[in-house]
């Protein structure tokens, strides 16, 4: 009798659990790596196509594009508001990254929307 009730109570809990696990819906497909984009927070609008691409993919493309400007301690960072930048990493005496200095800002995401 109350064994049955217990069983019924469990069911919705298990369903909820499954639901949250599969909740990572695909928003769109990244045109660069062809893998699904599951969160808007891992994606940015591509500077040319205006399609959503992964951050990592956007950075990889920029690194290729700006290769001649990069080098020792010079990297591409996301600096916010849809922009990337070439930055110089500044390390302290122990070799820990202390801060960075923006060398060149790269406007990436189109802002005319
Ligand atoms: Zn990608």
User: Which domain, by its residues, includes 51?
Assistant: 28-107
Residue 101 lies in a domain: yes
Q: Is the pTM of this model over 0.75?
A: no
Query: Given its phi and psi angles, is residue 105 left (phi above 0), alpha (psi -120 to 50 degrees) or beta?
Result: beta
| Per-residue pLDDT at 41 | 87
Residue 39 lies in a domain: yes
Residue 113 lies in a domain: no
Residue range 24-82, pLDDT digits in tens: 688 999 999 999 999 988 899 999 999 999 999 999 999 999 999 999 999 999 998 89
Q: From CA 47, how far away is CA 82, in angstroms rounded?
A: 10
Q: How far is the CA of 92 from the centre of ligand 1 (A)?
A: 34
- Number of domains, the chain: 1
Residue 65 lies in a domain: yes
Q: How far is the CA of 98 from the centre of ligand 1 (A)?
A: 30
Q: How far is the CA of 107 from the centre of ligand 1 (A)?
A: 19
Residue range 79-113, pLDDT digits in tens: 988 999 999 999 999 999 999 999 999 999 887 65
Residue 23 lies in a domain: no
Higher pLDDT, 15 or 70: 70
Residue 57 lies in a domain: yes
């Amino acid at each position: 009798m109350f064994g049955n009730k217990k069983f019924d109570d469990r069911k919705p809990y298990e369903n909820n659990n499954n639901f949250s696990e599969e909740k990572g819906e695909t928003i769109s497909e990244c045109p660069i790596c062809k893998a699904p984009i599951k969160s808007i927070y891992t994606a940015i609008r591509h500077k040319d196509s205006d399609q959503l691409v992964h951050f990592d993919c956007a950075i990889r493309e920029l690194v290729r594009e700006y290769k001649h400007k990069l080098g020792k301690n010079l990297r591409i960072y996301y600096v916010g508001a849809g922009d990337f930048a070439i930055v110089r990493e500044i390390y302290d005496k122990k070799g820990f990254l202390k801060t960075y200095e923006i060398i060149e800002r790269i406007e990436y995401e189109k802002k005319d929307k």
